[in-house]
């Protein structure tokens, strides 16, 4: 496990940093009508210093909707927005800690019909 102490990731919002995002293949499940579930992939740019964390989550079938490394605290802690069906947060934190020992802020959007 490595601890990242200085992030050089490029911030598109802040206009600083030199490390380009790492392009990962994000799995997307789809179910065409009348067929079984399929996994397709979409290229997604991830902040370089958290790309191993995101890839590890995806490898463990944890869906994410967004992420930010926090850029050395200028935008807070590293953060991940989880997919709406994720529920085992302690397991997710355990997976994250396998590759990064920073504190991650986890959030989640859920669609609720009322």
Over its length of 114 residues, how does the chain's per-residue pLDDT go in tens digits?
445 457 888 887 778 888 899 999 998 876 566 777 778 889 999 999 999 999 999 999 999 999 999 988 888 899 999 998 899 999 999 999 999 999 999 999 888 888
Which class for 77: exposed (0-12), middle (13-18), buried (19 or more C-beta within 10 A)?
Answer: middle
Question: Tell me: the pLDDT tens digits for 71-94?
Answer: 888 888 999 999 988 999 999 999
User: Which tokens in the block code for residue 88?
Assistant: 């085992």
Domain ranges within the chain, ordered by starting residue: 22-108
pTM: 0.83
């Amino acid at each position: 496990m490595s601890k990242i102490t200085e992030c050089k990731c490029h911030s598109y919002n802040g206009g600083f940093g030199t490390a380009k995002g790492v392009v990962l293949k994000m799995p997307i499940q789809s179910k065409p009508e009348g067929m079984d579930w399929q996994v397709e992939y979409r290229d997604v740019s991830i902040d370089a210093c958290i790309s191993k964390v995101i890839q590890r989550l995806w490898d463990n079938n944890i869906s994410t909707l967004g992420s930010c490394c926090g850029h050395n605290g200028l935008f807070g802690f590293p953060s991940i927005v989880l997919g709406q069906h994720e529920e085992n947060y302690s397991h997710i934190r355990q997976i994250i800690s396998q590759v990064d020992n920073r504190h991650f802020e986890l959030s989640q959007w859920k669609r609720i019909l009322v």
